[in-house]
Structure 1
C-alpha cells in the first residue's frame, strides 16, 4: 500500500506564483524532457491549479519560453578582476558550469532541439543571448581602456569567439566540456583579439 500523497500547498499570488511555476517548469523539463512537459504536471508540481497557469500563459510553449528566458537571464555576475584574461576565464567557466549541470543540459536541449522549432523559443533564445552579450561587454571595454586589447576590437565578437568552442562541444560534437575547455577558449579568444582579428 502506497502512502497517501498530501496535496501541494497553495502558492500565493503574483511574483510567488510566477517563480513557483517557472521552477516547476524547469524541474519538469529536467525530469521528463520537453516532449513529456504538460501544463497539468507543472501546475501540480508548483502547487497551483492549471487554470492559474493558463491565466498567465496561453499554452505550454509560451510557458516554456518564459521560464527559459527567465532562467537564462538570471543575473550572471560580470567579473571585474582588473585583468582581461581572468575576467574572460571567469565568464567561460560560468558558461561551462551552467550548461553542464542537469538543469543547464535540459535548457539547452529544449532551446536547441526539442522546442527549437517554436517561434516563441527562438525569440526567447535571441533575447537571452543578446542580453548576455550586452551585460558582458564591459569586460572587453575595460580591457581596451587598460590597454590589454587593441582599440577597435568588437566586444560582441570577442564574447562570441569565447563562447563558440564551448557551445560547439555542447551542441554539436558532444566532446567533453570542462574548465580546460573554458581555459582554451580564453587563450584562443585573446590571441585573435590581440592579433586584430576581432
Structure 2
C-alpha cells in the first residue's frame, strides 16, 4: 500500500508541472510571439527550473507542439439542441470565440505562419483539426437521422463548409469576425446541404455510351 502511495505522488506533481509549463508557453506566445519564445522564459514564468522543462521537452519546438495540441484538443462542447440550425450556430460561434481571443490569435499565428514550417507543428495542426471534425460529426449524423438533412450529406464536408468562411476572414482577408459571421456561415452551409452540394463522394462512374 505504501509503495502505491509513493508511486502516485510524482504523477500529481508531474501533471501540475506540465499544466503550469503549458500555460506559461501559451502566455509567452501571446505576449512575445513565436520568434521570441524561449524555454528559459517559459520556465521562469511557470516557476520551475529550466532543466525541469528540458527533462520533459528537449527543445522549444517540441514544447510548443505539446502545448498547442493540448490546448486545441481540449474538449469542446458538442451541442445537441435538437435542431441542426441551432447546433451549427453554437459550433460556429464557439469557433469564432476561440480564435478571436488573444490566445486563439497567437495560436493561429504560430500554427499557420511563424512555426508552420516545423514538421511537428504541421502534424499537430492536422491532428487537431481532424480531431475537431470527428468530435463534431455527430451533430450532422443526428440531423440526418431526424430527416433535417439529405441522407447522403457528408458530415466532414458540411463542417468544413461551415468553418471555411470563418477561417478565410481570420487568416486571409482580416475582415471583422463575430457572431454575425458565424450565423452567415450557418445559413450558407445549410443552403448548400439542402441543395445537395455536400454529398458523400461516390467516385465518378464512367458514362455508358
Q: Give the TM-score of the pair, scaled to structure 2.
A: 0.88
Q: Distance in 1 between matches of 2:153 and 2:53?
A: 46
State the Cα deviation string for residues 45-101 of structure 1 (Å, max 9, x = none). 011111111111110001001100111011100000000000000000000000000
Q: Secondary structure at the match of 2:53?
A: helix
Aligned runs of 1:167-178 on 2, under 5 Å? 167-178=167-178
Larger radius of gyration: 2
State the Cα deviation string for residues 136-190 of structure 1 (Å, max 9, x = none). 0000000000000000111000000000000000001101100000000000000
Q: Distance in 2 between matches of 1:101 and 1:92?
A: 15
Q: For residue 180 of structure 1, what is the aligned residue in structure 2?
A: 180
Q: Distance in 2 between matches of 1:183 and 1:50?
A: 45
Q: For residue 92 of structure 2, what is the aligned residue in structure 1?
A: 92
Q: For residue 81 of structure 1, what is the aligned residue in structure 2?
A: 81
Q: For residue 194 of structure 2, what is the aligned residue in structure 1?
A: 194
Q: Secondary structure at the match of 1:13?
A: helix
Q: For residue 45 of structure 2, what is the aligned residue in structure 1?
A: 45
Q: For residue 29 of structure 2, what is the aligned residue in structure 1?
A: 29
Q: Distance in 1 between matches of 2:123 and 2:41?
A: 25
Q: Give the TM-score of the pair, scaled to structure 1.
A: 0.93
Structure 1: segments with no counterpart, 5+ residues: 1-11
Q: For residue 158 of structure 1, what is the aligned residue in structure 2?
A: 158
Q: Distance in 2 between matches of 1:163 and 1:76?
A: 15
CA RMSD, 1 decimal: 0.7
Aligned length: 187
Structure 2: segments with no counterpart, 5+ residues: 1-11, 199-209
